[in-house]
Structure 1
Amino acid sequence: MKKLLFSFVFLLTISFTTLAQTVRYVDNNTGAPNSAGLNYSTIQAAVDASSAGDIIYVQPSPNNYGNISMNKTLHIYGIGHNPVLNAGQYAIFNDIHFLASAASSTISGLNVRDFYLHYTAGNNDGILISNNRIRQAVRGNNSTGYSADIVVSGNYFQNNSHYHINNVNSQNWIISNNTFERSSTGSNSYIFYRLNNTTVLNNNIILTRQNGDGNQSINIFNACSGTQISNNIFIFTGNSVSNMNLGGNSALTFNNNLTYSVTTVLDPLGGTNIDDTNPLFTSFSPNNSLNNTTHDYTFQGGSLAINAGSDGNDLGVMNGGFPFNVRGYPTELPYLTDFVIFNNILSEGTDLNINVKANANNN
């Protein structure tokens, strides 16, 4: 008789792979297959063995996978940063460094500390960073000629005081449909740093717990210039906050945003913005984390955020039918909803009876 124990994530073979792509699996759980065939125990070994365009699936684990250095186009997926199954475990990383020739890569469904797009001698344009939990920041390049056309979407950012987006001098970034949560109560704990006039910041939810300074001001943007800020929802839970005027910024343009203070009265942004108004989410508590799975960021009837965007769609992360999910399921993959082993103790030669259920995600 044998008792079978499973660490299960990617039994499903994803149909969008092509003949030119190799799929590799990384698992650093105790007892996982070690460098057998296409199975690897370290992420860097899988990256080094891959060719441009290959796909890497990373199993959830209590063990940190460490850092990644990428010098080719790869598509790396976890199962989500807050999954239903696997006892809520996810794949956790420290830093992901895009070195040279990693253009058009995808990183999705992971828990990552930092993304660095800082290499100055290779093309890292067109990278998609989506549906991850990001504990610190996505950082750009000192040169305007590298790390352009980056899309940062569907992620959950949370940190006490570290900034979350730093364009540096990178061009044409789209930062959309993310949730940003600032836990620190310090007035000068900014979230966005060095956004420039090519940056698009739209359809995000930004929640800050900062308290105002002596002038009832806090800092969300710092050293930003010429950025168009549209269709976002800003939520303030701190005391003595009337504005977000701190930070040396210039020519920021706010259009079709909604602001809401839970405890104080905010100064109006004016123009096409909706000032100091409850967005009336379908389900939401400002005392909970933004990635709380009871939250539903669609809107109740009567919400002024409905169809209030500059594009005629809703404000916030659900704009235009974007498949935002608080669990961080990768958009490209189906996600598991149930996995049952009916006979995990069996004799040799006996069939293993399993029931697997999954929902299709949007692509």
Structure 2
Amino acid sequence: MKLLMKIQKEIKTNHGVALKKTMLTFSVLFMIGLAIQAQNVYVVDNNQGSGAQYTNAQTAIDSAAVGDIIYLQPSPNNYGNINMTKALNIYGIGHIPELNSGQVATVGSIFFRSGDASGSKISGLNISNIYLDNTAFNNHNVVIRNNRIGYIAGNSTTSRANNVIISGNYIRNPNFNAIDPYNSQNWIISNNLIEQPNTAATWSTLSRFNSSVLFNNNIVLTRQNGNAGNSIQLFNNCSGTQITNNIFLFTGTDVENMNLGSNSALNFQNNLTYSYNSTLDNLSGTNNIDDTDPQFVNFNQNASLNTTSNDYHIQTGSPAEDAGTDGNDLGVFNGTFPFSLRGYPTELPYLTDFVIYNNILSAGTQLNINIKASANINN
């Protein structure tokens, strides 16, 4: 569904004003997407001269009540670290937006250490790290969706950070262990792009997955080169995890398998593997498709996974077509999941076109804007 609007806003100034698109885009998005919500909405914008309610993200978070929405405007300035003290919904525009000169809302680390923030939702942001590792407060049922993230850490206990959903994200850690649930229970890690850019054979990406973790419908790319035994370590210290409907891609040299690491009883079912520069061994498990090109609509294995020219839909006739345990395609578009390569939050409409017809105004004249947006999934 497409949403086409023309908005006229009267600007009263003492002098003519040249308006910037960036200053208007998100205020309009805010009105379209959030005005109908029952929660309070806090707009945070640390651009110079923004005039927003808040310029500091943590101040807005501390001021908000449980269930409120924090909306971080795109900015060249990092919003810094965030301490979650209560259940909140924190949104950005996405991590590769079409407009706003590609600017995004970037934060440092998000810490779930200062209170019970169970039920929080984080979406549309560029995030360095997320830590769900506090042992004094519960932080269950957190949804982490449609972000760019470096690292996600779980909890050392089995009762503090459970039922976490990690979906639709681009996860890339230039070091090791991009996702580590530790002892957290019932994590669902699905429909993500996960990339290991390092070439070291022992730099694992997926760590300490337990038997309650579901890992499905992801596309994982690793650039690791094989060791002397032609092996790499993609999973490490994992046990009993159900691993289904994923596509594993290998661009390194001398890679025959991913058997390194202290793993046990991993259940690989209906996955596809493919190496661009080596010949892979068969994957253990059932109904796996071994060392076979998934035949994406468009894909450059030498570019980053989140390159916008990539199209991870499966071509007709591909071995990955309808090959999942549910009869749907393998990978991020499995079933009806609304995967967004640009990381647009499904709760908000997003702009696809923005035209200001008279960007130089005299006092008392009208601003004429034409906006085209795609509607959100929820509505």
- Whether these two folds match at TM > 0.5 is yes
| Stretch deviating more after TM superposition (195-204 or 10-19) | 10-19
Cα distance in structure 2, aligned partners of 1:14 and 1:143:
41
Residue of structure 2 in register with 1:31 after alignment: 49
Residue of structure 2 in register with 1:44 after alignment: 58
Cα distance in structure 1, aligned partners of 2:340 and 2:368:
31
Cα distance in structure 1, aligned partners of 2:210 and 2:40:
38
TM-score (norm: length of structure 2):
0.92
Shift of 1:325: 1.2
Equivalent of 1:64 in 54, 57, 78? 78
Percent identity reads 56
Equivalent of 1:73 in 69, 87, 91? 87
Residue of structure 1 in register with 2:351 after alignment: 336
Residue of structure 2 in register with 1:275 after alignment: 290
- Asked if 1:9 corresponds to 2:23, the answer is no
Cα distance in structure 1, aligned partners of 2:362 and 2:328:
58
Shift of 1:15: 5.2
Shift of 1:160: 2.3
Aligned Cα RMSD in Å? 1.3
Shift of 1:123: 2.1
CA contact under 8 A between 1:132 and 1:328: conserved in structure 2?
yes
Once the two structures are superposed, residues 245-288 of structure 1 have per-residue CA deviations (whole angstroms, 9 ceiling, x without a partner) of 01111111100000000111100015210000000001111111
Secondary structure of the corresponding residue to residue 319 of structure 2: coil
Quick one: structure 1 residues 297 and 248, their matched pair in 2 at CA, closer, same or farther if it must change by over 3 Å? same
Q: Partner amino acid for 1:259?
A: T
Cα distance in structure 1, aligned partners of 2:305 and 2:128:
18
Residue of structure 2 in register with 1:308 after alignment: 323
TM-score (norm: length of structure 1):
0.96
Cα distance in structure 2, aligned partners of 1:223 and 1:230:
18
- Asked if 1:319 corresponds to 2:334, the answer is yes
- Asked if 1:230 corresponds to 2:244, the answer is yes
Number of equivalenced pairs: 358
- Asked if 1:21 corresponds to 2:31, the answer is no
Residue of structure 2 in register with 1:205 after alignment: 219
Quick one: structure 1 residues 20 and 332, their matched pair in 2 at CA, closer, same or farther if it must change by over 3 Å? closer
Cα distance in structure 1, aligned partners of 2:177 and 2:106:
20
Cα distance in structure 2, aligned partners of 1:2 and 1:324:
40
Secondary structure of the corresponding residue to residue 62 of structure 2: helix
Q: Partner amino acid for 1:236?
A: F
Secondary structure of the corresponding residue to residue 148 of structure 1: coil
- Asked if 1:250 corresponds to 2:267, the answer is no
Q: Partner amino acid for 1:210?
A: Q
Once the two structures are superposed, residues 20-69 of structure 1 have per-residue CA deviations (whole angstroms, 9 ceiling, x without a partner) of 410110000111115xxxx1001001101100000011111111100110
Secondary structure of the corresponding residue to residue 335 of structure 2: helix
Cα distance in structure 2, aligned partners of 1:14 and 1:225:
46
CA contact under 8 A between 2:70 and 2:90: conserved in structure 1?
yes
Cα distance in structure 2, aligned partners of 1:107 and 1:18:
20
- Asked if 1:358 corresponds to 2:373, the answer is yes
Residue of structure 2 in register with 1:148 after alignment: 162
CA contact under 8 A between 2:121 and 2:142: conserved in structure 1?
yes
Cα distance in structure 2, aligned partners of 1:19 and 1:168:
36
Once the two structures are superposed, residues 66-118 of structure 1 have per-residue CA deviations (whole angstroms, 9 ceiling, x without a partner) of 01101111001000000000101101111001132211110000000000111
Q: Partner amino acid for 1:96?
A: I
- Asked if 1:89 corresponds to 2:103, the answer is yes
Q: Partner amino acid for 1:341?
A: I
Unaligned runs of 5+ in 1: none
Cα distance in structure 2, aligned partners of 1:105 and 1:343:
41
Equivalent of 1:114 in 112, 120, 129? 129
Residue of structure 2 in register with 1:189 after alignment: 203
Q: Partner amino acid for 1:267?
A: D
Secondary structure of the corresponding residue to residue 322 of structure 1: coil
Q: Partner amino acid for 1:228?
A: Q
Q: Partner amino acid for 1:193?
A: S
Displaced runs of 4 or more, over 4 A: 14-20
Secondary structure of the corresponding residue to residue 9 of structure 1: helix
Secondary structure of the corresponding residue to residue 371 of structure 2: strand
Equivalent of 1:126 in 141, 146, 158? 141
Shift of 1:360: 1.3
The structure, 1 or 2, with the larger RCO (C-alpha pairs under 8 Å, 6+ apart) is: 2
Cα distance in structure 2, aligned partners of 1:359 and 1:309:
29
